[in-house]
């Protein structure tokens, strides 16, 4: 799966997971909506959850890299099929243990796992000290989400995790 990132550049470049992925040729960064190719766009404001059914939509997974403070719905204007990631917990040092507060690499890796591309998810996370921790912390939900057929099933599984919170 080809990974693309609409890069805002408003975070510390030394801590930016998207920049690091780009340095290793694991993702392509784009500085404008127009330059960002059509694909499955990971968007926390989307009305539909990402599911294995989305493998038929595109061979591109697109994320928006910006600070959580500036991640407003209006920023997600990239062309594509917008999908929200289900409940997962961050393993990155800044938001460790917080649900839904994923870095760009965590979001892309989660999307890859759900879409059946776990080896690629492991490869991109291997560039980060805490990458394996993300997979370990989310092992059960990622496996269960990947076993779902569609968005409706994803939401039902997610609800079980939300009910525990």
Residue 64 is labelled as binding a ligand: yes
Residue with tokens 């697109």: 62
Report whether 142 belongs to an annotated binding site: no
85 labeled binding residue:
yes
Q: What is the CA radius of gyration of the chain?
A: 14
Q: How many CB atoms lie within 10 A of CB 62?
A: 29
Q: Is beta strand 60-65 parallel, antiparallel or unpaired with respect to 28-30?
A: unpaired
Please state, in angstroms and rounded to a whole number, the distance separating the CA atoms of residues 86 and 98.
13
Which stretches within 41-117 are classed as H helix?
104-114
Is 135 marked as a binding-site residue?
Answer: no
Q: Which two tokens stand for residue 28?
A: 């392509």
**Residues tagged in the binding site annotation for S-adenosyl-L-methionine:** 17, 64, 85, 104
**Residues tagged in the binding site annotation:** 17, 64, 85, 104
């Amino acid at each position: 799966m080809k990974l693309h990132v609409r890069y805002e550049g408003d975070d510390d470049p030394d801590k930016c997971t998207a920049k690091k992925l780009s340095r290793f040729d694991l993702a392509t960064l784009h500085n404008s909506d127009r330059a960002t190719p059509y694909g499955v766009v990971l968007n926390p404001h989307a009305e539909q959850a990402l599911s294995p059914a989305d493998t038929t939509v595109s061979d591109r997974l697109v994320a928006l890299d910006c600070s959580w403070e500036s991640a407003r719905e209006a920023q997600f204007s990239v062309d594509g099929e917008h999908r929200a990631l289900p409940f997962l917990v961050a393993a990155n040092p800044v938001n460790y243990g917080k649900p839904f507060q994923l870095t760009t690499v965590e979001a892309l890796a989660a999307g890859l796992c759900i879409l059946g591309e776990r080896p690629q998810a492991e490869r991109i996370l291997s560039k980060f000290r805490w990458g394996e921790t993300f997979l370990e912390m989310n092992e059960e939900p990622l496996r269960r989400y990947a076993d779902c057929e569609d968005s409706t099933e994803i939401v039902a599984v997610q609800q079980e995790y939300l009910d525990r919170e």
